[in-house]
Amino acid sequence: MKKTGSPSARSSRQSAAAAAAPDCEPRPSTLLGRTALVTGSSKGLGKAMAFALGAAGAKVALNYAHGVDDAEATWHEFEGRGWEGALCRGDVTDEKQVGKLCAEVHKKLGAIDILVINATPAQPQKPIEEYDWALYQQMLDFFVKSPFLLTRAVLGPMKQRRWGRIVNVGSEVFRRGVPNFSAYVAAKGAQTGWTRSMASELAPWQITVNIVSPGWIPVERHRDDPQADKDAYQALIPMRRWGVPGETMFTGQDLAVNGGMTVC
């Protein structure tokens, strides 16, 4: 028979494990008391995510870098629904501005518990001969540098509380290998790899790091895209319709609920 140690030793180990584990009692689906920062949330998918978090009870920092009119209109709509939050300006690819942004959120709403990394630049589709390195660098700044800067800025309090949620907004383009889109696809691939590494690194602190990869959702940035391109894309969707901000359109996926044993 395998020896497992004395009862007192086993009891000590069990007590230590219980102390390290998070409180897993069933709770209502609410984010009351949590503070969220959603980057690039003045419109589009970022706005929808910020509003969903507000509806769930979180205090939400809506972030923008440009487009003051859109940002203020979104903020008035958010505030008009009775939700708590703040409108915070900052370029999330600039180290100094990221520091100021996170400090402002902390001061106004409290330490950041939930970080949604959504901000994105324009995404021109061109053959590789028509790209230059400046465009590649811009994509890397938004999808690798920005997650790095933001996560580093919010980690301290998350580690202290042993709780945090970091969500990267990726894209289906990485798995699909979309042609004439190499700068964006490459950066999204790097973002995916970074997410996997962070998920493993931060799991011991009960901080989850995930990536959500939507398809083409026709938000404001796609207003002037050729209708023929939209029709061709929609024809490929098994649901035979466009997704819209605010819904999941989630089907056919395998979610591993195993504490990071498999990272995919």
In which residue ranges of the chain is pLDDT below 50?
Answer: 1-19, 24
Q: What is the pLDDT of residue 264?
A: 73
Q: What is the pLDDT of residue 130?
A: 96
Q: What is the pLDDT of residue 21?
A: 53
Domain boundaries, the chain: 30-236
Q: What is the amino acid identity at position 251? A: T
What's the chain's average pLDDT? 87
Q: What is the pLDDT of residue 251?
A: 83
Question: Which pTM value belongs to this model?
Answer: 0.83
Q: What is the pLDDT of residue 222?
A: 62
| CB burial of residue 128 (10 Å; 0-12, 13-18, 19+) | exposed
Q: What is the pLDDT of residue 1?
A: 42
- H helix or E strand, kind and range, residue 49: helix 44-55
Residues, the chain:
264
Q: Are 35 and 58 in contact (CB under 8 A)?
A: yes
SS3 annotation, 198-246: HHHHHHHHCEEEEEECCCCCCCHHHCCCCHHHHHHHHHHCCCCCCCCCC
SS3 annotation, 107-127: HHHCCCCEEEECCCCCCCCCC
Q: Which positions are catalytic? A: 184
Q: What is the pLDDT of residue 4?
A: 43
Q: What is the pLDDT of residue 22?
A: 55
CATH number of this structure's domain 30-236, picked from the four choices 3.40.50.720, 2.60.200.20, 1.10.238.10, 3.90.1150.10: 3.40.50.720
